[in-house]
Structure 1
Amino acid sequence: MMEPGYAVSGRYQIIRPIGEGGMANVYLAQDLILDRQVAVKVLRLDLRNDPNTVRRFKREALSTTELNHPNIVSIYDVGEENSMQYIVMEYVQGADLKKYIVEHFPIPYQRVIDIMAQILSAVQNAHDHNIIHRDLKPQNILVDEAGNVKISDFGIAIALSETAMTQTNTLLGSVHYLSPEQARGSMATKRSDIYSLGIILYELLTGMVPFEGESAVSIAIKHFQNEVPPVRNYDPRIPQALENVVLKATAKDPDERYSGVKIMAADLATSLSASRAHEPKFVPNKASDLGETKVIPALDPEGLTQTDQAEQVTEATAAKPAESNAKKAKKSKMSKKKKWWLIGIGVALLVLLGTVGAYAIQGSEVSVPDLTDMTQQNAEDVLTDKNLKVGTIQKTASNQYDSGHVIRSTPVKGLRVKSGSTVDLTVSTGQKKYRIKDYTDQVYSDVSRQLRQKGLTVKRKYQSSTTVDAGTILNQSIDAGKNVVPSKTTITLTVSSGKPTFAVRDLSDYTQQAVQDYAAEAGLMVTFSEEYSTSIQTGLVIRQSPASGTMVQAGDRLNVVLSKGPRAPAVQPSESVSETPSSSSSESESSSESSSSESEPSETSSQPSGTESSSASQATVKK
């Protein structure tokens, strides 16, 4: 165990342990050079002296660095310090798939397919590089906070396959996903990974593994003796096409499974299609011999069957009528061996009969009772009364069942099982809670839709802001990080309405200077124009746009028309005769006199008549 603060190779400073496995311990560390968090996996102390384990640890870790895939945990560095083998890899912040299933079950079918599609894509990439994982299980699959899936532990898979069978406690974590051929000690192939993928899909759909037992050996035996229970026994709503993917991937005979991960992925992708709604149930074509008991002809001490022995005796009799003394002695010795051989067979038959007898005693069948919505204690009492045993108890959140009440049982209610069989229970921990996040500076429409999908009630109130765009969340009524029950929670989000609005003032009788002062105070842009007006005094406002009372924001434009006063009357042009200067002068004088005589008749009458005649005569002569 490495202490926090220790720097592996002077570069990776340990922060804290984050996991322990059968082969290695994992620590969260800080890369002091690249300033990022990484995961450091260190080979366990008790395995560091095994040269084969160390060699394979290095070889497989280095080969995994060739895998560059978004759904595979990246390997950054491989090294050794003080005989300590370590691998530095990408740190995925989230939970493993095992924990994800517990927290999110039941998982929608489409989400199950999405998760499996990412897993299958990663395994396909590894198989393309001729790397077999050998230890695929939910504990080796990580789900980050965004829901993306990444597979880890490619680096030590081969070493684990050679050591886990001798470590019961270690194997117990992996044996639930172990292929039948691996359980029998045979070499793992790419189809062994496909079997494990089928078990993972089974768990995503049912929330549990298909086989349980008190020891790793008992579980391993079930893998090559018992058929994987149909997932539709657990949930009849699961489409047959989707169940067929599980059945084909987990076939006992490797030849009956998918020939490649890519084919399995393609089959899974269409499993919810309406065109496959009436697909028949998959049934293997070949009978697997992985768990069958066969009758083998009796062997003599030399390994020959009775038929072969008879043929050899016939040939020997024809060739030599009499046996030599040496052959008689050998035959006597062989007879003694045959006696012990028969005793061994007898003991084996007794053991077999005892086992059959034990099954016969427990052969009576009972129907699994309906335990739904019972308290856990009541369900256990009912199972005891029915001569059934309580199996594993799994806890999960439920919006339908109260805390401590049974959500479901496996096998399902009504299914007939042998007396003394175990029944697994899934018990509610209460309504599923949702962790509130920090929604400030996010778009209200997006956040409200997400929260309503989770079951929360969302209310909105507006608040103006000069700095935050309209529609953006300014504040929230529930603090980030708080866990709430969605169906019982109302959250109020304060949303920016943009810049504050106000009603435009009535500017009638305002001068241009008064309008400019108001616009500066309100933050408005103003444009002036002028028109003649007989009713509005010159320089005052005739009209405005927007009209008074209209709601506007700072920065909007205000158009104002000012009065130019009344329009001036048109000037009439005077008549004139343009002749010689003297003529003009005479006519002007004559005109003046004429006007004077018209406007002042009293004065004209008092003047001598001779003067008028003389003047008139002179004018006539000039003309």
Structure 2
Amino acid sequence: MSATVTDPLVGRLVDGRYEVVSRLARGGMATVYLAVDRRLDREVALKVMHPHLAEGAGGLDFVARFRREARTAAKLAHPGLVAVFDQGVDGETSYLTMEYIDGVNLRRRITDLGALPLGEALSVAEKVLDALSTAHRAGLVHRDIKPENVLIALDGRVKLADFGLARAVTEVTSTTTGTVLGTVAYLAPELVSRGESDARTDVYACGVLLYEMITGSQPFTGTTPIHVAFQHVNNDVPAPSDAVPWLPVEVDDLVRALAARDRDERVPDAVAALALLRRTRAGLDEETLERRADVPGSPLVDEPASTDGASSDDQETARFQTRAGATVALPIGLGLPAAGEVIAVEPRAPRRRGRTAAVVTTIVLLLAALGFAGWWFGMGPGSPTTVPAIAGSTQEAATSALDAAHLKAAFTEAFDATQPEGLVVSTDPEVGTQVSRDTTVNVVISKGPDWVAIPAGLVGMTSEDAQAALTAAGLAPSVDGHRNDDVAAAGTVLSATLPDGTAADPTSAKATRGTTVSLEISDGPAPVVIATITGMTADAATALLAKDALTLTTTEAYSDMVAAGV
């Protein structure tokens, strides 16, 4: 029996546009609502960031990154990514509006079935990697791949959600507070031990996700988040065939390639992972693809909303897998034990002794983590340094500056109109940010402006055709005015101009992708007021109307009141 959940936001009109209908889900970072966009008359998912995350020393930085990442995520276009429509602030409410998916998440699917048929598991993983490839090509890392963020629509479409928020949270917590925030069951070893993440971090999570879909359980479980994180750092993900003996070796090899503990031995990104998965699937027969691990499903019991992922006090002996989707904060470096230290991860004593052992183990782990953290962040590699100002530098100069600051560099290229080709555009974390030593700084190198061809013959096209041609070329059409024209038909383009006022003519101008092209549309000839010609002779009336480019057509009729010829 569950109590009715009341939420003060339900029924409210957010930002004068989004009418909140009901609460869909609540997590550690945000609450998601079903809302109606009154302006466009459509259902949307409204994600509202918890107000407390905007408080404290890192609050402004968190909100700023949240907004920036929302804009970045909105630029990603792929049918397998949940579309981001809008971002804004209404009072103390920071929100995103996203595509509403009517269906269930992958967590519900796994729970209902126990384990997925091999073919379905590979299909879901393929769609997730396909969507993730778009982000990796754009230099974005998701950082929170888990079943709760994989949505399955009623029509079978698979969508990957939660890009901007997961990235913003990870950045702030890892660089500012010395902790890493994420879902512990899917955290890559390098994220736990060093707070570092790149495309391979997402690939690791996809490997764990695939393992769970196939076997019905996660590769690592424990009584606390620290237990689970410790295993990610110190143990290899087991072969799925250890739990499901009939699985072919090709599936074991696939999971091993995705979830290798050493990220240098891991598949480098989602693009390569997708290609490997497709090759693996192509080599399996239909009978094998239809088989499913003999794991019973169970009804999903809804739990009270929680922001820290902790289980209730009367469930202390429950394995941590029961709250696998919860987001937790862990100290960076906790997975690295002191020399000679032995830590028991899975107590196997009887129930009462097992509880005692679990408590002792937890205390030992916490003390070890605190001692290690003191050295790590005080004098060791985790001691702080500052990201230097390298915008406008060459790649070689940027590398030298980062080396001098005890930082690593990961370079990506992107089109940019603010810096010449080959020079640094930006860094992530930003210049001046305090970070731990050996942190990897993502550096964007300019590829120069992203020039696109302006479509020819815009003037004279219909408004619809011109806008379609500009959109297809990667430009942004904008109808900025209408005027009458005696020659051009109504609805056709009179002029097309770039922001600097020059004509959008491919023979004399060029533009970068996303440039706005202003269109002026004809309303046809201007209407005229017909002069009064009653009582005039036909010749006089003809002459008067000719001044307005009008032609007089006459007919004759008898009249007792009007003189002939008038």
TM-score by length of 1: 0.44
Structure having greater relative contact order (Cα 8 Å, sep ≥ 6):
2
* Rg comparison, structure with higher value: 1
Relative to its length, the structure with more helix (as a share) is 1
